[in-house]
Amino acid sequence: MRPFLLLATRSDDVVADDEYLAFCRHSGLEESELHRFRLEAEPLPELDLSQYSGVLLGGSPFNSAAPEAQKSPLQQRIEFDLAQLLVEIAVQDFPFFGACYGVGTLGRFAGGHIDETYSEAVGATTVTLSEAAATDLICAGIPATFEAFVGHKEALTTLPPRAVLLATGESCPFQMFRLENNLYATQFHPELDADGLSVRIDIYRDHGYFHPSEADAIKAASRVADVTGADLVLKNFVAHYARV
């Protein structure tokens, strides 16, 4: 099988490695089947997409909607690299799946608007599939309503033109969408379970996603959440696009 490629942007080695293993675990991919490139470490080289089954984009501490003057040179370089790659991905309608940061990256690239209107606290949220999801293979077998882990300071307030809304939520209306036939993004994290969320809570305790005093309570609440419906999105994507 041609491997999938995970593009990562997290500079902390602990959370970066945990994210990679989480994508392996919840997609069903072996480590040999999921290559990783850490964009924060070096510029993205020219890729031959034909060598991959699909491209995955993990979460990030960056905020896409921040004014350009407030973005670090590293964030600006990463966003430039991703935008250049997305041009090629969009032209080819090449399989792409972005989680959380993927909404900001793909959404802005395709003309959507992102700001802090629909930010969500760290923890489990309820996600509801749209009518369009009934005919989308990536949503096959997923409950009409399911729980998923979130934690973000920004979100889409306007879908990109021609985007198909696949899932929504009470506090964040755009939880999943598709562009063309093969480009997907979720606001929630399909790769996250309670253990993975705990790792991120420890690493990002002082990054403004929650008050540090709430960390233990958020971890405890995550232990009783059932997010098995969320990781089916990732499993379905990999199963559908895996190719030799």
The enclosing domain of 97 has a CATH number of 3.40.50.880
Quick one: 235 exposed, middle or buried, by C-beta within 10 A (0-12, 13-18, 19+)? Answer: middle
Structural domain for 102, as ranges: 4-241
The number of helix segments (H) and strand segments (E) in the chain equals: 6, 11
Angle subtended at Cα 235 by Cα 25 and Cα 121, rounded to the nearest 5 degrees: 75
What value does the mean pLDDT take over residues 129-133?
98
Cα atoms found within 13 Å of the Cα of residue 67, Cβ hemisphere only = 2
- The whole-angstrom separation of Cα 126 and Cα 168 is 9
Residue 185: what pLDDT? 97
* Mean pLDDT over the full length of the chain: 96
Read off the pLDDT of each residue in 125-150 and give the average, rounded to a whole number: 97
Q: What is the reported pTM?
A: 0.96
**Residue-wise pLDDT tens digits, 189-219:** 999 999 999 999 999 999 999 999 999 999 9
Q: Please give the tally of structural domains in the chain.
A: 1
The pLDDT of residue 88 is: 98
80 Cβ neighbours under 8 A, 6+ residues apart: none
Phi/psi at 106 (5° precision): -70, -40
Provide the pLDDT confidence category of residue 9 given band limits of 50, 70 and 90.
very high
220 burial level (CB within 10 Å; 0-12, 13-18, 19+): exposed
Task: Evaluate whether 145 touches 230 at the Cβ level (below 8 Å).
Answer: no
89 pLDDT higher than 90: yes
pLDDT interval class at 244 (50, 70, 90) = confident
Residue 7: predicted pLDDT:
98
Beta bridge partners of residue 228, listed in sequence order? none
- Taking residues 95-123, report their average pLDDT: 95
